[in-house]
Structure 1
């Protein structure tokens, strides 16, 4: 009797388990895609695919959250896999790549693309040192199969010359080495983002442009650039070797690709060979496996070691991809990294470092040129900046930024400027409003300016503008006297405070900065003294509907204040002010906002000229 009861109970438990809802996996997404993830949860849940989301600052923070078991899965690039492999959390996290984003054309290929070297079949070359003096065809500067991979592998084989000369930049070290190895080449692209340096490099190492369609330009578009262009350079323009990828070799020579059919051959493949890293040659045909120099892994989805139901998460990711494609959803593209040419393919779990090593791609990411000991010392200050700097340094290194960033921590902007002056740091990021003072007091010089898109000047400056509504009687700065004003921030903000104050002083409408608060009837200038007129029009965190929170956040120089930053235009739109002082770039962004551009009128462009 008792045994029968036990059997019944066990049977009921089994039924309960089979009817229990599937586990809800949690995906970490960069915070810019938070709304996409909400939409994904809604659409997937309606299809019986449960998933939840957490957000991270970016993909790097998401990798950390997966490592800490705060999320189950994150979509990653190969460079993100590298970050996971080298993370302090790696050993404990037990990261695994469990599914890959592959093309529908090649769903069975283990890698996104494989780098190969193609030569004429009768070329007399018997080892990699025989490359010296040959004519070389490349996809383009900075690209993987035509630049990074050959440089990495040939350096390891002691074929390339010195790439660590401290007198040259990392890029020039590489160009110099290639120019010395090959007699001629075609290597198009921007050799430097600075036009004068780009021109100097192409003049100095001009032999690496000699095989291009337009050697004097040596830039895109060029008939002998890119994956197929490198093969044209080899077969039609006198090249001896071409660096490209397998799929383009197959297309060029009319061989089957993936599950597809043959294409029309441009040249006879029997006249060419794959040149292998060990010096051997391999036929180019439909049956012989190519010898590769390295491969770039597919993008994929990475979990931690605590996710035991691998089949479950693979099934869910695959189904999510199918739902997203059917709906052509933004989250399908932004979060799952899929498009109409790709699909999610489940694979055997593999640790990211093992995956990169198997692809012979780990050393490509870690490739280092220029002075080995040289770093770019970035000076930062504040509580959060050091951690941000360190995160950026890791991410930048994985994505080929050389020399490696080193974070130097100081207590203030002034201390950082002193450190640059005294050669204890190389650079710092400062607001435009502080540039003139930095140049005069610390003998530093600007080297890079932030680009702001629509509304910026040709010098990447953000013009400061005064904005009023279309029906406003205000036509000039003088008309602003006695009106209510909305400012991005108080004092250190260029467009919101420095520019309008300077304009009022220049127009002799005020005698000093202190008079500005009396020039206007009332204002919102977040960061100003809370009891001053400059805070009267501020709203605080109005969305909280909590008087204590509104009081605590009113006129604070952060996003808690509804009218801070871009919120200055909201202040204008809600009739809390008659004029808003903002950068012109904010005005252009109104096109994506509920505060339509036809509601406003710009009365004063370029309130003050930014010092050149």
Structure 2
């Protein structure tokens, strides 16, 4: 989707897009033209999805599916089946349930459980393993047809593309939801390892009819179009002609290198005639637009994410569109505030639902704005916020108690460093008075604690003569001589040294600083913390928390570090528009 933005801004001419990307582009009203398809077979679509029934079941139309046995390909193969296509049959035939006492996901599961007599829907129903197991125990008939019903996992015999057909022809089910290319192989209509004869099986059609399996004109419920080349209007003809020349090139030439960049499974670059816009292209794809336009529950259960800048809001908006295209529910909305504090106020006033809170605002979020964590960003150990005490090289301070009477620099009041130091001083019995905040003022000399409330000791803000807020501010405070020690994240030191703004002349080195460390075997940090947390209202219901957490877990699976497809449409954790740490941290 970064490529889509670049094309829309005139910074790129063409790119490869999936059909899901095209839906996002259409919903975002970005104009691009489609010039070529990237095919690895001669079929018109990457795949077509059909419903196959046993003749003995008596199924003649969609209404006959009630109380029948359903063989479903299952979940956990998103690179081949998006949830929207996987759930298309059920979304088409089962009345939607929107009971407020259930999550959206459980409403769908419950409706399927009540509609079908039994089923095999193996694999993860939700991305939370404990909740997944709980739902499978609650609706066991949806695992009843599986080879191992008690497990109902993606290792089951009846899981996967061919698994749903095995379920049908083994006699376990009455109807199978499957890809047409797999059906043809399974029933021996094309070479490739037949598992059954076509006798006794038919296609169930969306129009309420049935056709024999060996029909030359099978009825299709929904298709997935091929990946395409899309471009801006002004160069569409030139791009199409150039792409069409790449079909028979020497792999060692620059054209061959170009081909290897845009195609993974190369057979042919198919020329679209005429070149056409997204809307008309997708309208020809049976069921595909319908699959992306089923109505949601009313009133909607939209999750409102609060952002703090234009670029955060832009990334959130793209995330919203991408999540919708991949069938993630509930849907998202993006609301912009001036800063994180205003976002926390918005949550407290029920004007927003989720905000990403940096590490130093976690405590105020909980104490002042009645928020609680929904999840935190996990990072490698070397990326965590590790609170350390830093002095300038040459300082003779070796132990924490030797800092008594010294000038201290903190990133903020009530942040991780502040609370970690208070906790450590208390543990070491170095605070002589209560409340502990007063004890800190007595332990240290004149110091700087940005954001300190007015009713606190003046000595703790006496040395705040410069812009000393944040980790970099604490280091500036130390270097300016306003402090003898700075408490901050260990990782901030290297970032400060590398910063062209903070270290414009390059005279500050890593060895300009010393970390106070009493026992290196136990680590030199006071505490560790994740870089950020998603926070929600303290009075949020468990049901809403489950719904919301599952949305972010699904986005992590599709757009996060461990996405399963060849490419990801959007990087959840990565640069956005050339800027780092937007909405989520890159690492």
TM-score (normalizing by structure 1) = 0.66
Query: What does 1:475-514 correspond to in 2, within 5 Å?
Result: 490-491=411-412, 501=421, 505=425, 511-512=443-444
The question of whether the paired residues in 1 share the 8 Å contact of 2:83 and 2:327 is answered with no
The question of whether the paired residues in 1 share the 8 Å contact of 2:97 and 2:107 is answered with yes
Once the 2 structures are TM-superposed, how far is the Cα of residue 239 of structure 1 from its aligned partner? 0.6
Relative distance call for 1:492 and 1:191 in structure 2 (3 A) is: farther
Q: State which of 162, 168, 192 in structure 2 corresponds to 1:263.
A: 192
Q: Distance in 2 between matches of 1:572 and 1:66?
A: 41
Q: State which of 451, 454, 464 in structure 1 corresponds to 2:386.
A: 464
Once the 2 structures are TM-superposed, how far is the Cα of residue 371 of structure 1 from its aligned partner? 3.5
For 1:62, the equivalent position in structure 2 comes to: 3
The question of whether the paired residues in 1 share the 8 Å contact of 2:246 and 2:255 is answered with no
Q: Answer yes or no: is 1:312 the counterpart of 2:231.
A: no
Superposed CA deviations along residues 212-249 of structure 1, whole A, max 9, x for unmatched, are: 12212222211111111111111115110111101211
Q: State which of 1, 8, 16 in structure 2 corresponds to 1:75.
A: 16
For 1:402, the equivalent position in structure 2 comes to: 329
Please list every run of 5 or more consecutive structure 1 residues that lacks an aligned counterpart in the other structure. Answer: 1-58, 257-261, 469-473, 482-486, 537-555, 582-600
Relative distance call for 1:475 and 1:179 in structure 2 (3 A) is: farther
For 1:595, the equivalent position in structure 2 comes to: none
Once the 2 structures are TM-superposed, how far is the Cα of residue 377 of structure 1 from its aligned partner? 1.2
Q: Distance in 2 between matches of 1:475 and 1:102?
A: 67
Query: What does 1:6-405 correspond to in 2, within 5 Å?
Result: 59=1, 61-89=2-30, 93=31, 95-103=32-40, 106=41, 108-141=42-75, 148-149=84-85, 151-153=87-89, 155-156=91-92, 159-256=93-190, 262-285=191-214, 288-307=216-235, 308-315=237-244, 318=247, 322=251, 336=262, 338-340=263-265, 344-348=269-273, 349-359=275-285, 360-405=287-332
- What is the aligned residue count? 475
Superposed CA deviations along residues 520-579 of structure 1, whole A, max 9, x for unmatched, are: xxx99863179643469xxxxxxxxxxxxxxxxxxx9998972499x9xx9998544444
Q: State which of 432, 438, 442 in structure 1 corresponds to 2:369.
A: 442
Q: Distance in 1 between matches of 2:69 and 2:367?
A: 51
The question of whether the paired residues in 2 share the 8 Å contact of 1:499 and 1:607 is answered with no
Q: Distance in 2 between matches of 1:602 and 1:467?
A: 16
The question of whether the paired residues in 1 share the 8 Å contact of 2:51 and 2:205 is answered with yes
Q: Distance in 2 between matches of 1:122 and 1:475?
A: 85
For 1:11, the equivalent position in structure 2 comes to: none
Relative distance call for 1:113 and 1:273 in structure 2 (3 A) is: same
Q: State which of 381, 385, 391 in structure 2 corresponds to 1:455.
A: 381
The question of whether the paired residues in 1 share the 8 Å contact of 2:75 and 2:154 is answered with no
Considering Cα pairs closer than 8 Å and 6+ residues apart, tell me whether 1 or 2 has the greater RCO.
2
Superposed CA deviations along residues 459-489 of structure 1, whole A, max 9, x for unmatched, are: xx94627699xxxxx99766998xxxxx9x9
> Structure 1 stretch 407-416 or stretch 74-83: which is displaced more?
407-416
For 2:473, the equivalent position in structure 1 comes to: 528
Q: Distance in 2 between matches of 1:398 and 1:149?
A: 10
Once the 2 structures are TM-superposed, how far is the Cα of residue 420 of structure 1 from its aligned partner? 1.7
Once the 2 structures are TM-superposed, how far is the Cα of residue 146 of structure 1 from its aligned partner? 9.0
Relative distance call for 1:498 and 1:311 in structure 2 (3 A) is: same
Q: Distance in 2 between matches of 1:368 and 1:558?
A: 50
Q: Distance in 1 between matches of 2:368 and 2:57?
A: 63
Q: Distance in 2 between matches of 1:417 and 1:477?
A: 38
Q: Distance in 2 between matches of 1:250 and 1:313?
A: 35
2:166 aligns to what SS in structure 1? helix
TM-score (normalizing by structure 2) = 0.68
Q: Answer yes or no: is 1:433 the counterpart of 2:360.
A: yes
The question of whether the paired residues in 1 share the 8 Å contact of 2:126 and 2:132 is answered with yes
For 1:43, the equivalent position in structure 2 comes to: none
Q: Distance in 2 between matches of 1:320 and 1:562?
A: 45
Once the 2 structures are TM-superposed, how far is the Cα of residue 312 of structure 1 from its aligned partner? 2.7
Once the 2 structures are TM-superposed, how far is the Cα of residue 438 of structure 1 from its aligned partner? 1.6
Once the 2 structures are TM-superposed, how far is the Cα of residue 100 of structure 1 from its aligned partner? 2.3
The question of whether the paired residues in 2 share the 8 Å contact of 1:467 and 1:603 is answered with no
The Cα RMSD (Å) is 4.5
Once the 2 structures are TM-superposed, how far is the Cα of residue 112 of structure 1 from its aligned partner? 1.2
Q: Distance in 2 between matches of 1:513 and 1:300?
A: 66
Please list every run of 5 or more consecutive structure 2 residues that lacks an aligned counterpart in the other structure. Answer: 391-395, 404-408, 432-439, 450-462, 482-491, 534-587
Once the 2 structures are TM-superposed, how far is the Cα of residue 498 of structure 1 from its aligned partner? 5.5
Relative distance call for 1:115 and 1:490 in structure 2 (3 A) is: same
The question of whether the paired residues in 2 share the 8 Å contact of 1:499 and 1:608 is answered with no
Q: Distance in 2 between matches of 1:346 and 1:410?
A: 46
Once the 2 structures are TM-superposed, how far is the Cα of residue 448 of structure 1 from its aligned partner? 1.8
The question of whether the paired residues in 2 share the 8 Å contact of 1:115 and 1:293 is answered with yes
Relative distance call for 1:424 and 1:526 in structure 2 (3 A) is: closer
Once the 2 structures are TM-superposed, how far is the Cα of residue 161 of structure 1 from its aligned partner? 1.9
The question of whether the paired residues in 2 share the 8 Å contact of 1:188 and 1:225 is answered with yes
1:528 aligns to what SS in structure 2? helix
Q: State which of 512, 516, 523 in structure 2 corresponds to 1:604.
A: 523
Relative distance call for 1:367 and 1:476 in structure 2 (3 A) is: farther
Relative distance call for 1:241 and 1:153 in structure 2 (3 A) is: closer
Relative distance call for 1:449 and 1:267 in structure 2 (3 A) is: same
Q: Distance in 2 between matches of 1:405 and 1:411?
A: 20
